[in-house]
Structure 1
């Protein structure tokens, strides 16, 4: 073989090896992201709040300038840190009149007013073979419409958890409650033996719908509901009266919570347990990081808090509220394809596991994760004391609030009424009045005549 042929053969081998290496490199892009950086240089704007939340703080760094996401795709994202109280209104304004933002995250109950202004993601989900069964049904339902269109991927989500003082229950030889009836029994026993401590910290104040969280677990658990299949109010039927009476009786009849509970929201009631004044509390799982923080809890509480699934009703499977933030793409965005890469990244189970298991900086530590595979991951559970596994158990039967465009008005009626009942108003009469008010809201909105 002549010298020139050897040169050409050598060049051919170089081309082949380089090509194979290039294909291999492109096919090895993680998280299901597109190879080859087709959207290199794209800058996205993300409408969101609350960057102090550990998960958001970590993800904003990973997807910002110089972060892993930009290194893999050439795309960077600017996270808008809108105050939470202003976020819903800002989303609605942007959805109807704006073109500033590409990506948005919203609280599940806001969705019906927002979804018409977002791109459906079904084709993208199908094309990228995303396994939706790895996400809780409640999370997917909250991001979908009645026609099966999916407008968001689960991004941040929370099951409700029963936090309890392990040392107190062990000392008094009391079981961990599995339902609200047992909660009352255990709380009563605690107060009999330790009169300086309340059995459970409850919250009945009207504050962004927080006093509904434990109410709906009573209502759904007994077999009741807020609205029927035609979106008519039914929470004042006999099941609703029984469930609501039991919820109010924790305060007014059994007196196993602070008499100030009608003035407590989530923050004040959790503080009761942080400070050692209550033995149990039901709240979101992300509070686990705070119960593990010596800057938050008093020394006699530190290291003594256990957790279990939030209580249900009797022997029925618990049906509790699962709060979720879906993340979607505004119709007005001109960067929808790059925005989808961003959504795939932040909702991917491996990225979520990386964030949830990170304890290198406790100021941004956060056990929040949205996939079952992530919640059951050994490393994630080791980093978070096992609470993700318990969260997965809760989310198997959890539900979302009614997906109606009138929810903000309905929520206002419900939370005010619950606070009135906590302050002494008659349960049946108040529920009937609330139902009339909700019925008027639904008629005005055209759900029925």
Structure 2
């Protein structure tokens, strides 16, 4: 899911956003007409899911801008929408926009104002750019007694989309970044999940010398910033930062350079195959899924695939371990967390009904029901974003204890920088990491990237 779409040109996606925003703010374009939110939201008592009782929106049809219908969580929510319709009388028509064109479609609806959809989902990275088209939710949340108290810090940060004191979307799907490893190989070599990066790299060297597996299935492709996931986690865990308080690049500091050298070492020491300089998330996880790699670092939701006997190689059955990513010695780990949000488009004329669906999808009760349903592999998932569900013994028992592992990781995790320039910054950094993985000098490459970022207007 985290895999973004491939681009023909390096600046295509940021340019699309920039053009859309320019249309909105320029004197030659008035932008979309924002419909008043609260006037469309009806009053009344609510049920245990915070849905209005009495079906005040009975007969309303809302359109949901979404993608990725094959994702088990989204597929499960769509299958359960009949329950929502029965409760509320609201019919939901869901799109399934191909991910390759999803962002462009979101831009058309949120920034330009297509007027076709009533609500949408979006990945956290695009929130600061796309929040121009969605309604702040704080007033309706207060009216219905909804808070963000049941969400961990990075999910709350993503919900604000870079706007202090406002909630632009509610977390719908989110995950931690974890280390997955072959328990049988670790047992064979007398290893345990590593606590430090030095320990992990020693394990990679041992696995390389003692087995025929890739020690690590890495991902260093510049594709949509996928090579930044591990780098950012390592950077933050070593006390380094991307920027200072004034927005100046600081990833050229001694700590950041040393961290980057350690990250690139996995390629230069042959712990990950040479081809991984062109691998993204899908390539890396597929290598692990097929039994070709001993470890992989990726999003927690992949456990659903790694433990699916219909997808995974037979030798993975019962042999997939999952752990928090290592820390640097004497320092606190700080992993990267990722979030999908959902909210209400401000051009919608059905915002009240759309808000009901947002509440239903993001309720802890709906999420718990999805996490416990194991009847159909196509809709089976252990991903939860509510702390109450991640700590629920029954939810954990049904999902190989992944929710509690994710909870622990999320307590020190961070969201990506929530600012309007992040898509362009991400692009610059992703190219730099790919160049270093292909042999470029670390110090000078980071300095060049910092200079390029400083020139952004």
Aligned match of 1:8: none
CA contact (8 A) 1:217 1:313 kept: no
The secondary structure found in structure 1 opposite 2:163 is coil
The secondary structure found in structure 2 opposite 1:77 is strand
CA gap 1:44/1:136 in 2 versus in 1, 3 angstroms: same
Taking the aligned partners of 2:329 and 2:94, their CA distance within structure 1 comes to 44
Aligned match of 1:295: 310
Taking the aligned partners of 1:420 and 1:224, their CA distance within structure 2 comes to 21
Candidates 186, 200, 204, aligned match of 2:220: 204
Aligned match of 1:218: 234
Residue 196 (structure 2) pairs with residue 179 (structure 1):
yes
Aligned match of 1:126: 142
Taking the aligned partners of 2:83 and 2:435, their CA distance within structure 1 comes to 50
- What does residue range 430-449 of structure 1 map to in structure 2 within 5 Å? 430-441=445-456, 444=457
- What is the RMSD computed on CA atoms of the aligned residues? 1.5
* C-alpha deviation, 1:179, in angstroms: 2.9
- What does residue range 409-448 of structure 1 map to in structure 2 within 5 Å? 409-441=424-456, 444=457
The secondary structure found in structure 2 opposite 1:216 is helix
The secondary structure found in structure 2 opposite 1:133 is coil
CA contact (8 A) 1:312 1:320 kept: no
The secondary structure found in structure 2 opposite 1:134 is coil
- What does residue range 145-184 of structure 1 map to in structure 2 within 5 Å? 145-184=162-201
Taking the aligned partners of 2:370 and 2:277, their CA distance within structure 1 comes to 36
Aligned match of 2:205: 188
Residue-by-residue CA offset, 1:342-395 (whole Å, 9 max, x unaligned): 111100011001111111001221112110111111222122111111011111
Residue-by-residue CA offset, 1:172-211 (whole Å, 9 max, x unaligned): 11121123222101111222222x1222211111112110
The secondary structure found in structure 2 opposite 1:283 is strand
CA gap 1:27/1:113 in 2 versus in 1, 3 angstroms: closer
CA contact (8 A) 1:108 1:323 kept: yes
Taking the aligned partners of 2:264 and 2:183, their CA distance within structure 1 comes to 26
After TM superposition, the structure 1 stretch with the greater mean CA deviation from structure 2, 130-139 or 428-437, is 130-139
The two structures have a TM-score, normalised by structure 1, of 0.89
Equivalent pairs counted in the alignment come to 412
CA contact (8 A) 2:46 2:52 kept: no
Q: Where does the alignment leave 5 or more consecutive residues of structure 2 unmatched?
A: 1-43
CA contact (8 A) 2:171 2:341 kept: yes
CA contact (8 A) 1:166 1:304 kept: yes
Candidates 394, 397, 407, aligned match of 2:422: 407
The secondary structure found in structure 2 opposite 1:156 is strand
Aligned match of 2:39: none
* C-alpha deviation, 1:324, in angstroms: 0.4
The secondary structure found in structure 2 opposite 1:308 is strand
Aligned match of 1:277: 292
Taking the aligned partners of 2:45 and 2:449, their CA distance within structure 1 comes to 57
Task: Please say which structure displays the higher CA radius of gyration.
Answer: 1
Taking the aligned partners of 1:315 and 1:278, their CA distance within structure 2 comes to 29
CA contact (8 A) 1:118 1:330 kept: yes
CA gap 1:346/1:401 in 2 versus in 1, 3 angstroms: same
After TM superposition, the structure 1 stretch with the greater mean CA deviation from structure 2, 226-235 or 158-167, is 226-235
* C-alpha deviation, 1:28, in angstroms: 7.9
After TM superposition, the structure 1 stretch with the greater mean CA deviation from structure 2, 332-341 or 419-428, is 332-341
Taking the aligned partners of 2:201 and 2:184, their CA distance within structure 1 comes to 18
Residue 386 (structure 2) pairs with residue 368 (structure 1):
no
Taking the aligned partners of 1:137 and 1:219, their CA distance within structure 2 comes to 19
Taking the aligned partners of 1:274 and 1:114, their CA distance within structure 2 comes to 35
CA contact (8 A) 2:436 2:445 kept: yes
* C-alpha deviation, 1:76, in angstroms: 2.0
Q: Where does the alignment leave 5 or more consecutive residues of structure 1 unmatched?
A: 1-25, 445-449
Aligned match of 2:32: none
- What does residue range 135-150 of structure 1 map to in structure 2 within 5 Å? 135-144=151-160, 145-150=162-167
CA contact (8 A) 1:380 1:388 kept: yes
CA contact (8 A) 1:29 1:72 kept: no
Residue-by-residue CA offset, 1:11-58 (whole Å, 9 max, x unaligned): xxxxxxxxxxxxxxx968331111111111111111111000011011
Residue-by-residue CA offset, 1:119-150 (whole Å, 9 max, x unaligned): 11111222222241211111111121333111
Aligned match of 2:266: 250
Aligned match of 1:11: none
Taking the aligned partners of 2:277 and 2:420, their CA distance within structure 1 comes to 28
